[in-house]
Amino acid sequence: MTTLTQFDVLAIRREFPILQQEVNGKPLAFLDSGASSQKPRQVIDCLEDYYKRYNANVHRGVYKLSEEATFAYERARGKVARFIGAASQREVIFTRNTTEALNLVAYSWGGANLQPGDRILLTIMEHHSNIVPWQQLAQRTGAKLDYLGIDGEGRLRLDELDQKLSERTKLVALTHQSNVLGTINPVRAIADRAHAVGAVVVVDGAQSVPHMPVDVQALGCDFLAFSGHKMCAPTGIGVLWGRRALLEAMPPFLGGGSMIKVVELEQSTYADLPARFEAGTPAIGEAIALGAACDYLSEIGMEAIHGHEVELLAYALERLSAVEGLTLFGPRSVEQRGAAVSFTLDGVHPHDVAAILDGENVAVRAGHHCTQPLHRQLDVPATTRASFYIYNTHEDVDRLAAGLEKARRMFA
Ligand code: PLP
């Protein structure tokens, strides 16, 4: 693995095979890591090595291959636990993605703990995967939903907390970093307030865990959900971290093989953590490769990654602010946000913006980014989003700005 004494973006780029290709003589400016990141050679090699050398089911076979696969799978769990500062690797549950992790909490914790009239506090900036499971839970249990609003710069209205948080609030679910506004939310302060009324705090870390140091103890939450595919790992693997006492008290989410102790005809007893929440054959190679992704990111250093992104973000905000007719959403201060930048361009539909950028081999995302309530609040049907990661450069930002100028001229 590359040893990086300082943040060397060109060395990092060389680790990503996909970034080596050109389309129509233009290199790829990949600005859609918020949707899914690219994968370094180290992670691709790790996945390939599993399938070529020791592919076997885990926790079952007594033969050597299965033991090797089991060892690697559980070692990956330990790497994830260390990556987020978990007290124990038993607190790390492998899921398919953030969405499944949030649904697990909603079904299992929510089903066991919510009563009619209880309240669930969300924020208006949530991704649909941190809204819909709670709506479904509210429909099943008779609980009610409340939403914390945002100010003109897309920051949470903390002044609403006193009014929206009460002893009826049993759960607060919020994103650590908005996938549209880039806003980094003050999770610790909100978690402390939520705990003071006895609520459990669920954090959607899909956009924070890949981009900055995240320590669950410092964050002060009770559950944290995130996806491997946004942090250099393959698709199909995600994580739910939860406090051990809470997880141990929760009923299983899915039933089946691997999650049981004894199965009788009428009933079963369940395995201890984490197996209790991992029914069926898991995504073995993907979990092992997530461990490799944690190693890869840790070696570069999450502080360094965040620093690189802040620098790119500052440059992007400066360049994009100079584009005539462009409206930027989210906080102006780089201290309050991460490097996902959403905007509209007067007179050009966001999908047309994305299509013109694609012609320049600049990949961005356009649409509502799975945040319809937020877009309704922003009073726009859609935005274009550029999201940055470890392998992006100032040149990528320049090409984005040039593509936007081109779109503006074409539609003028
Ligand atoms: N939450 C946020 C903030 C996201 O940005 C995303 C994905 O874009 C998700 C949740 C859902 O992630 P996944 O599709 O991997 O479950």
* pLDDT (tens digit per residue) in 59-107: 987 899 999 999 999 999 999 999 999 999 999 999 999 999 999 999 9
Q: Identify whether 371 is part of a domain.
A: yes
Residue 167 has pLDDT above 80, yes or no: yes
Same domain? 316 vs 227: no
Give me the pLDDT at residue 402, please: 98
Q: Minimum mean pLDDT among 2-11, 93-102, 258-267, 274-283: which range?
A: 2-11
Burial class (CB in 10 A: 0-12, 13-18, 19+), 63: exposed
Tell me, in angstroms, the distance from the centre of ligand 1 to residue 189's CA.
23
Same domain? 221 vs 351: no
Confidence of residue 412 (pLDDT cuts 50, 70, 90): confident
Confidence of residue 241 (pLDDT cuts 50, 70, 90): very high
Catalytic-residue membership of 294 = no
Same domain? 129 vs 145: yes
Same domain? 26 vs 120: no
The type of residue at 216 is V
Strand-strand pairing, 238-242 and 223-227: antiparallel
* pLDDT (tens digit per residue) in 192-231: 999 999 999 999 999 999 999 999 999 999 999 999 999 9
Q: What is the mean pLDDT of the chain?
A: 97
Q: Identify whether 39 is part of a domain.
A: no
Give me the pLDDT at residue 17, please: 98
**Cis bond before residue 274 (omega within 30° of 0):** yes
Same domain? 276 vs 163: yes
Confidence of residue 260 (pLDDT cuts 50, 70, 90): very high
Q: Identify whether 84 is part of a domain.
A: yes
Domain boundary among 270, 299, 328: 299
Residues 19 and 260: their CA atoms lie apart, in Å, by: 44
Residues 93 and 91: their CA atoms lie apart, in Å, by: 6
The type of residue at 180 is V
**Tokens 């995240």 found at:** 214
Same domain? 142 vs 66: yes
The CB of 207 under 6 Å from ligand 1? The reply is yes
Q: Identify whether 37 is part of a domain.
A: no
Residues 277 and 271: their CA atoms lie apart, in Å, by: 9
Residues 205 and 203: their CA atoms lie apart, in Å, by: 6
Residue in 237, 164, 155 with CA at minimum distance from that of residue 194: 164
Q: Minimum mean pLDDT among 12-16, 21-25, 133-137: which range?
A: 21-25
Q: Minimum mean pLDDT among 19-23, 163-167, 283-287: which range?
A: 19-23
Query: Which atom of ligand 1 is nearest to 227's Cα?
Result: 15
Backbone dihedral region of 92: left (phi > 0), alpha (psi from -120 to 50 degrees) or beta?
A: beta
DSSP letter at 198 equals T
Q: Identify whether the C-beta of residue 307 lies closer than 8 Å to the C-beta of residue 9.
A: no
Residues 358 and 354: their CA atoms lie apart, in Å, by: 6
Give me the pLDDT at residue 2, please: 41
Query: Which atom of ligand 1 is nearest to 235's Cα?
Result: 15
* Residue 324: strand pairing partners: none
Give me the pLDDT at residue 7, please: 87
Residues 277 and 274: their CA atoms lie apart, in Å, by: 6
Confidence of residue 147 (pLDDT cuts 50, 70, 90): very high
Q: Identify whether 38 is part of a domain.
A: no
% pLDDT > 70, the chain: 99
Domain boundary among 299, 316, 344: 299
Please count the structural domains in the chain. Answer: 2
Provide the CB-side half-sphere exposure for 370 (13 A, CA).
13
Residue 1 has pLDDT above 90, yes or no: no
Of the residues 102, 175, 227, which should be mutated to test ligand 1's pocket, given the most ligand atoms within 8 Å of the CB? 227
Same domain? 162 vs 276: yes
Same domain? 23 vs 86: no
Report the CATH number at residue 345.
3.90.1150.10
Q: Identify whether 35 is part of a domain.
A: no
Same domain? 118 vs 227: yes
Q: Identify whether 36 is part of a domain.
A: no
Tell me, in angstroms, the distance from the centre of ligand 1 to residue 230's CA.
9
Same domain? 246 vs 139: yes
Domain boundary among 299, 321, 345: 299
Largest CA distance in the chain: 72
Residue in 184, 250, 244, 182 with CA at minimum distance from that of residue 219: 184
Tell me, in angstroms, the distance from the centre of ligand 1 to residue 178's CA.
10
Q: Identify whether 50 is part of a domain.
A: yes
Residue 287 has pLDDT above 90, yes or no: yes
Boundaries of domain holding 332: 2-30+302-410
The type of residue at 118 is D
Residues 242 and 253: their CA atoms lie apart, in Å, by: 14
Of the residues 99, 105, 226, which should be mutated to test ligand 1's pocket, given the most ligand atoms within 8 Å of the CB? 99
Same domain? 205 vs 223: yes
Report the CATH number at residue 211.
3.40.640.10
* pLDDT (tens digit per residue) in 311-358: 999 999 999 999 999 999 999 999 999 999 999 999 999 999 999 999
Same domain? 48 vs 154: yes
